[in-house]
Structure 1
Amino acid sequence: MRDAVVLVCDEATMHAACRQLLEQPVLGFDTESRPTFRVGEVSTGPHLLQLATPSQAYLFQLEKLGDLAPLRALMAAPMVHKVGFGLSSDKVLLKSKLDIDCAAVHDIGTLFRQAGARHTVGAVQAVAQLFGRHYRKSKRLSTSNWASATLSDAQCLYAANDAYVALRVYLALAGGAR
């Protein structure tokens, strides 16, 4: 799986990744931020933006990238649909902190609510319902330092899975491959 994860931490890799991702009709999407633990502490995130295709996940380390123009163009592209869970705060933070406008973003939880779900459905519940599998999300990893200059293999896998699982769930709901 590690070969399927591309850590984007320089502009050349970002340009190449964005070119490849612009060719995809649908991408799994999520962001990660270093958590805040003190009352009144303001988040400096997002620090990581994850996008996944059916075969690869791209992890953009935002603080290592200079000119974000290629990423801005990708996220604003209306022909590339970005799907994920609970994306409203992701969109707000990307706009307010990095001036990244997000177009064609679809929150998968909305699709479950349209199908009659009464409560918010996240990735763990969606995987259980659609695939009959248990998807574990580590609390330790979810609250790890996403602003770190060096991400661990476990962090990379966690982040990649968040975007990949969103894509797989969306495709299953849309009648695609299971």
Structure 2
Amino acid sequence: MKITRHIPREEIKALPLFAGLALPQITLVQDEAALAAAVARLAQEPVLGFDTESRPTFHKGQQPTGPHLVQLASAEHAWLFPLGEGPMPAPLAALLARPGLTLAGFDLSSDRAHLKNRFGVTDLALLDLGNRFQCEDKRLTIGAVQAVAQLFGQYFRKSKKVSTSNWSLRQLSESQQLYAANDAWVAFRVWQALQQG
């Protein structure tokens, strides 16, 4: 457990920008061939950065129908798996539940619940990286932006506009791809840094 000082938001914004993955390092998985290739590539990884995105709800009482996207990342690449409104492809479900695979991310309780509620996927080895930090103020939790600032001294900028965009689309915009891929990749990088002490 890493004991840390919670860095104020304005102080984080003054840090150098965190350089995330670029589009050539991102694969948007849109057909069976790409799915098979991605699953084969990821099958031997012991740890992957992980996140999900859901189409936002805007009306009171409206039930979420996500997740609509699953993101996985290794050391140098990220894969985006759009789920739309359909079922989760069996190869992806099998990959996520593969024995020996740890999925590292931030604030994963809602991801776990949504995957269970929508797809019945339950056998996931999720590692919530926020639990690897402890602030001097125990009421505060650590998310990706705070973790990057603390470990790398950099500002991981996240767009609110992109975060609340429509994630149920099969064809994601470039800004959506960059946002989603880097959420998973940052989780991998943070996990990697924590392993190194």
TM-score (norm 2): 0.83
CA contact (8 A) 2:38 2:79 kept: yes
**Structure 1 unpaired stretches of 5+:** none
1:9 corresponds to which residue?
30
Taking the aligned partners of 1:117 and 1:22, their CA distance within structure 2 comes to: 39
Of 147, 158, 174, which aligns to 2:168? 147
2:111 corresponds to which residue?
90
TM superposition shift of 1:103: 2.2
Corresponding letter in the other structure for 2:49:
G
Find the structure with the greater CA-based Rg: 2
1:106 corresponds to which residue?
127
Deviates more, 1:27-36 or 1:92-101: 92-101
Corresponding letter in the other structure for 2:150:
Q
1:57 aligns with 2:78: yes
Taking the aligned partners of 2:88 and 2:183, their CA distance within structure 1 comes to: 25
TM superposition shift of 1:63: 2.4
Report 1 or 2 for greater relative contact order, CA contacts < 8 Å, sequence distance ≥ 6.
2
Higher share in helix: 1
Of 162, 180, 194, which aligns to 1:159? 180
Change (3 A) 1:67 1:96: closer
Taking the aligned partners of 2:169 and 2:35, their CA distance within structure 1 comes to: 18
CA contact (8 A) 1:9 1:64 kept: no
1:48 aligns with 2:69: yes
Corresponding letter in the other structure for 2:152:
F
TM-score (norm 1): 0.92
CA contact (8 A) 1:10 1:64 kept: no
Percentage of identical aligned residues: 52
CA contact (8 A) 1:11 1:65 kept: no
TM superposition shift of 1:140: 0.3
Tell me the SS of whatever aligns to 1:30: strand
CA contact (8 A) 2:84 2:169 kept: no
Change (3 A) 1:21 1:117: farther
2:157 corresponds to which residue?
136
Report the count of equivalent residues: 175
Change (3 A) 1:43 1:64: closer
Deviations 1:68-122 (A, max 9, x none): 2111111111211110000111011111101222422100011113x86622100
Tell me the SS of whatever aligns to 1:28: strand
Of 27, 33, 36, which aligns to 2:48? 27
